[in-house]
Amino acid sequence: MKLFETATCSSLPQVSPDLSRDIRCSEKTPQAHRALFARLDALHLMETGGEMPMAHPLADRITVMAWNLQRCLYPEQSADLLRPHAPDVILLSEMDIGMARTHQRHTVRALADSLGMRYAFGVEFFELGLGNDLERRLAADDHNDCGWHGNALLCRQEPDALALIRLDESGLWFCPEDGLVSDSVFKQPRVGGRCAIAAILPSEAGGICVASVHLESLDDPSIRLSQLERLIAALDAFAPGLPTLIGGDLNTAFTPEDGRAREEPLFRAAERHGFSWANNAKGTTTRRSLLTYKPRPPKKLDWLCARGLVPIEASIIPAIEASGKALSDHEVILGCYALPKPRRGEEQDD
């Protein structure tokens, strides 16, 4: 598995009938999954599109929002929630393209177009089913047009570079016996693995690297630690020496706020690499939604961490539209950062 890939396309290639048949008939082993993973072209590409970006680079600060949109059932209403905060970058996870449960919509494009932003999307999983019981009730069709589920990055500047960073290919969600023994795995058969989308954005002081990531929700914290370490290694190779921000759903079981950070070692691992968790508002980031089976204790799963950027402010924005409807089972997190000042002699003319 490559550390990162940079190929882009305007529309992800569909899975052929032959490959779809091979996937469904395949043995459920890590070896078989790796072979299928290699054959799925869409797992090695980023789809890009959206509105034409702003021509000027970032100036003295950047506003970043991160949101696990839980399939993105309501792109337009979600855009209405985000728009007043005028984000420069939005880091998204759990976005659907061509899924029956979200009415076969391209949710990433719909959200980006509503906000007038560019997007880059990477597939986490090719979904073999229609989702859980609640999601099946929302589906008007008995099939997925595409079956793509993954992460996205929206921005207002044209990126100088993009990278798709794959965090595992072993098939944790494909191999129930060898992967994750959980009801969720049996209800959501899928090919693929967790990933991140990274972009280098132009600023008056040079490039700024931002990354949208979704870490593993199941198993023990060592899986997330390994994924974060791989992500940082990839970012160091993709954007060496640049100020870097990572954000998204880290699925942390324990947090520094409850005094149990040692049980989720990714926090200290990031700090060893020079990242800071200082710009995260206190409070939990999950809520009950339309797709939530039963009430669960609120958790803090969503985080921003940065290196080479100065924190200004942070907040947690309830994922509730004007009518009171929940748009996701995750709140939106927001962080503002001061950018490095241009080095002497590199200031741009007006």
Write the pLDDT tens digit of every residue in 208-253.
999 999 999 876 899 999 999 999 999 999 999 999 999 999 999 7
pLDDT at position 263 is: 77
pLDDT at position 349 is: 40
Closest Cα partner for 196 from 209, 211, 208, 216? 211
pLDDT at position 124 is: 97
Q: How many DSSP H helices and E strands does the chain contain?
A: 8, 14
8: amino acid identity, one letter = T
Residues 40-63 have a mean pLDDT of 93
Residues 159-179 have a mean pLDDT of 86
Q: Could you tell me the pLDDT band of residue 350, with boundaries at 50, 70 and 90?
A: very low
Whole-number average pLDDT of the chain = 91
pLDDT at position 134 is: 74
Asked whether the predicted pLDDT for residue 255 surpasses 90, the reply is: no
pLDDT at position 21 is: 94
Q: Could you tell me the pLDDT band of residue 135, with boundaries at 50, 70 and 90?
A: confident
Q: Could you tell me the pLDDT band of residue 289, with boundaries at 50, 70 and 90?
A: confident
Q: Could you tell me the pLDDT band of residue 290, with boundaries at 50, 70 and 90?
A: confident
pLDDT at position 348 is: 42
Q: Could you tell me the pLDDT band of residue 258, with boundaries at 50, 70 and 90?
A: confident
List C-alpha distances in Å: 191 to 28, 30, 39, 50, 217. 10, 11, 11, 27, 16
pLDDT at position 54 is: 77
pLDDT at position 261 is: 64
Report the C-alpha gap between 279 and 335 in whole angstroms. Answer: 6
Asked whether the predicted pLDDT for residue 179 surpasses 80, the reply is: no
Q: Could you tell me the pLDDT band of residue 186, with boundaries at 50, 70 and 90?
A: low
Structure tokens at 201: 């954005």
Judged by phi (left if over 0) then psi (alpha if -120 to 50, else beta), residue 37 lies in: alpha
Least confident range from 63-67, 110-114, 296-300, 321-325: namely: 296-300
- The residue written with tokens 């759990």 in the block is 94
Question: From the CB of residue 214, how many other CB atoms can be counted at a distance below 10 Å?
Answer: 24
Closest Cα partner for 187 from 331, 291, 288? 291
